Each structure stands twice: as C-alpha cells, then as structure tokens.
Amino acid sequence: MRITYIGHSTVLLETEKANLLIDPFISENQQSPISINDLPRIDAILLTHGHGDHIADTQEIAERDGSLVIAVAELATYFGWKGLNTHGMSIGGAYTFPFGKVKLTQAFHGSSISNPAKHEIIYTGMPAGLLLTIDGKTIYHAGDTALFSDMKIIGEQNTIDLAFLPIGDNFAMGPEDALIAAQWIRAKTVVPIHYNTFPVIKQDPSKFVNQLDGHGLVLSSGQSIDL
C-alpha cells in the first residue's frame, strides 16, 4: 500500500484493490503540490467532517470517477442529494468494504457547510476520525479534533501502524496535546497534519516529530511512503 500526503489533511491511499482519498482539499489549497487531474482514479472518498477545507473537491472527484463517498450519515445524505453514490455511517460503527474495514471514531470539533451569501450554516452531523484496516495494516486519521481521553481506548483496542494527527492549534489540537495523543494511541508511526495551510495554524512539524522518540515522521506535501 502506498500512502501519499497531499497537504493539510488530505491523504491518498493506493492499495491493490482500490484508491482511497481522505478529506480532499486540493484545488483551493495553495500548498497542494498537485491538481485534481493528477490524481489516479479514486474509488472511495472518506470524509471526517463537513468543513470546506476537508470536503472542497469531493463533488468534482466523485462525479469524475464515480467514487463512493463514505461519511457520517448526515454528510453522506447531503452528498447523496447532490447525486453522488454514498455510504452513511455513525460514530462507533464499522463496515467492511471490498477494499477493507472502516470504523468511525469520535472527534471533538464542529461539522457544517457554510453559505455566506445566505448567512446560512448547514449542520452535517458529528465530526469523526477514521480507523482503516486494509491489507493487514491499521491506519488512524484523527480528523480535526481536540485531545480526548478515549484516545487511550483507541490505542488499547487497536495496533495502529500509522496515525495522522492534527497539530495546527486554534481549530484542533496543538503540538503539546498531539504529543499526549500520540502516547495514548501508541501508533508505530505518527505523521502530523493540518498545519501551515493558513497563518493561524502555523507550526513546526519537525519540532513536534523530534519529540516522538523515533515514532514520528514529517511528510512533505506530495511525499509518499509504503506501508
């Protein structure tokens, strides 16, 4: 399995059975090293929540490739009404797809779609983290979240090979809390995400990773690893 960090919280997983994309924010992200046209065919899009910097390219990619959109029920319904193929889930639930198993964990954040022209905010269900079991490996994408004590349970119940944790602060965990999260989830490798895209979430990922005692890895936008 090849895993590519595309910047912000966007992660591409290329497996033998399917290509998966988490939280697509590419075309509107000035730090993204690629365009949507550079992506391979995407079989499934997995969304942690409904904020624009996590769903921005969902519609275009899914329409292009016929991708299955996997998300919490409310967000899946929203995209289903827009004509996309969706699979709705809820926190704590799991489902085994042809490519592997997906379980939604809790995350402490918000989840909505904003319409500034109408001064309207559309609720899109609870935010989530993702636990993926694919090809014998377990990957945890925490989404946007604060530190929460049940991360200890996630670490106790799962042998996590690779974890993506936000470190940007202001909207989600900062480096200090992310270090605690890393201890609790006990992942073999932790990759920081959700930082430096905007001035308000500017952080030094190398400083964070250097405190992980060999269990951290900084992936530059566009950089891949094999798992």
The predicted structure's pLDDT at residue 148: 98
Global pTM exceeds 0.85 = yes
CA atoms within 13 A on the CB side of 117: 0
Predicted local confidence at residue 31, as pLDDT: 83
At 84, the pLDDT band (50, 70, 90 cuts) reads very high
Phi, psi of 17 (to 5 degrees): -100, -25
Q: Is pLDDT at 30 greater than 90 in this prediction?
A: no
CATH label of the domain that carries residue 110: 3.60.15.10
**SS (HEC) of the chain:** CEEEEEECCEEEEECCCCEEEECCCCCCCCCCCCCHHHCCCCCEEECCCCCHHHHCCHHHHHHHHCCEEEEEHHHHHHHHHCCCEEEEECCCCEEEECCEEEEEEECCCCCEEEEHHHCEEEECCCCEEEEEEECCEEEEECCCCCCCCCHHHHHHHCCCCEEEEECCCCCCCCHHHHHHHHHHHCCCEEEEECCCCCHHHCCCHHHHHCCCCCCECCCCCCCEEEC
% of the chain with per-residue pLDDT over 70: 100
pLDDT in tens, 38-76: 999 999 999 999 999 999 999 999 999 999 999 999 999
The pLDDT value given to residue 29 = 92
Host domain of residue 103: 2-226
Report the chain's mean pLDDT, rounded to a whole number: 97
Q: Please count the structural domains in the chain.
A: 1
Tens of pLDDT, residues 151-208:
999 999 999 999 999 999 999 999 999 999 999 999 999 999 999 999 999 999 999 9
> Does residue 137 surpass a pLDDT of 90?
yes
Percent of the chain with pLDDT over 90: 96
d(CA 81, CA 76): 9
pLDDT the model gives residue 225? 96
